[in-house]
Amino acid sequence: MAAPNEITVPQLLRLIGTPDAPVIVDISIDPDFADDPFLVPGSFRHPHTDPQGLKACVAGRACVLVCQKGIKLSQGLAAWLRADGIQAEYLAGGMYGWRALADAPRIPAAALPPLIDGATLWVTRHRPKIDRIACPWLIRRFVDPHARFLFVSPSEVAGVAERFGATPFDVEDIFWSHRGEKCTFDTMLDEFRLRTPALDQLSTVIRAADTNTRANSPQAAGLLAISVGLSRQYRDDLAQLEAGMVLYDALYRWARDGADEGHDWPVGRST
């Protein structure tokens, strides 16, 4: 019988990438992590010896604890947090169980940019349209839920990155940008090893809309139209990003669960 504070790998995998995802904390000990330096998408590292610090990080939200095998570390700390009124679960099987599931992506820790004040800091050109909204959505939903984004004049991206330690993206001649016919969203999927069927489906739409190859995806014209509309609707780029998060949440659920669904009304009408 499953424990009341246990969550399985398939259950957690269904939550990751959605607004309902719990806080995911990797509490594996340093030697274990050094032997296998990968993270469950959206998770961050925290020592199991600091429950009070972890409670501050979780801030009362539901959380899932991940250790190497899903036994004493994660079960013990989950029980401790629950005793203090926090909705905590442990991942059954731990990281061993996660990597045993073929569809479960794992992010290389080495791919993560350095943290600035506890979160990744990114900078790009202002007045975003497609890639510069899609990439922040991907980062916040799968890489770093607390990531911050700076939108500045195109000529100032490099200088802001240097002065503030931010990671530039979606500008020319940098690491996190277009590569050949692929867009920056594709680059992030590759570097963070997030190539899942749903995200691949989504990337096809984003790439076609972002690179003016709309014939490659019937959904691309709609994404372009909505993206341009959002850019006209919002003067504040951060407000536009928040609205865009809802858009890409919906597109992700379409790609994951509803891409084969059609709609017609009235049903059976003559043509």
- d(CA 10, CA 238) in angstroms, rounded, equals 33
Q: Please give the Cα distance from 167 to 149 (Å, whole number).
A: 9
Residue ranges with strand state E in 2-69: 6-7, 23-26, 38-39, 43-45, 63-66
- Which domains are present in the chain? 6-106 (3.40.250.10), 112-258 (no CATH)
The continuous run of DSSP H or E covering 88 comes out as: strand 88-91
Task: Please check the confidence at residue 269 and state whether its pLDDT lies above 80.
Answer: no
Q: What is the pLDDT of residues 161-170, one digit of tens each?
A: 999 999 999 9
Model confidence over 213-231: pLDDT tens digits?
999 999 999 999 999 999 9
Do 40 and 16 meet the contact criterion of CB atoms below 8 Å apart? yes
The whole-angstrom separation of Cα 128 and Cα 122 is: 14
Dihedral sign for Cα atoms in the order 67, 73, 77, 78: positive
pLDDT for res 267: 75
Which residues, in sequence order, are bridge partners of residue 116? 119
pLDDT over 70 at 183, yes or no: yes
| CA neighbor of 17 nearest in space, from 40, 38, 49, 33 | 40
**Position 107 pLDDT exceeds 90:** yes
Mean pLDDT value of segment 75-97: 97
Q: What is the pTM of this model?
A: 0.96
**Number of other residues whose CB lies within 10 A of the CB of residue 48:** 19
Convert the pLDDT of each residue in 25-49 to its tens digit. Answer: 999 999 999 999 999 999 999 999 9
What is the predicted pLDDT for the residue at 266?
82
Distance of CA 88 to the CA centre of its chain: 21
- So what's the pLDDT on residue 28? 97
The predicted structure's pLDDT at residue 17: 98
pLDDT for the residue 77: 97
CB atoms within 10 A of CB 259: 14
pLDDT score recorded for residue 264 = 86
The per-residue pLDDT for range 72-83, each reduced to its tens digit, is 999 999 999 999
pLDDT for 271: 54
Q: Mind giving me the DSSP string for 153-205? A: -GGGHHHHHHHH-PEE-SSTTSSSS-BTTB-HHHHHHHHTT---HHHHHHHHH
The model's pLDDT over 139-162, given as tens digits with 9 standing for 90+, comes to 999 999 999 999 999 999 999 999
Residue 229 neighbours by CB distance under 10 Å: 10
Tokens representing 198? Answer: 């749903």
Measured in degrees and rounded to the nearest 5, phi and psi for residue 203 equal -65, -30
Q: What CA–CA distance (Å, rounded) separates 151 from 102? A: 37
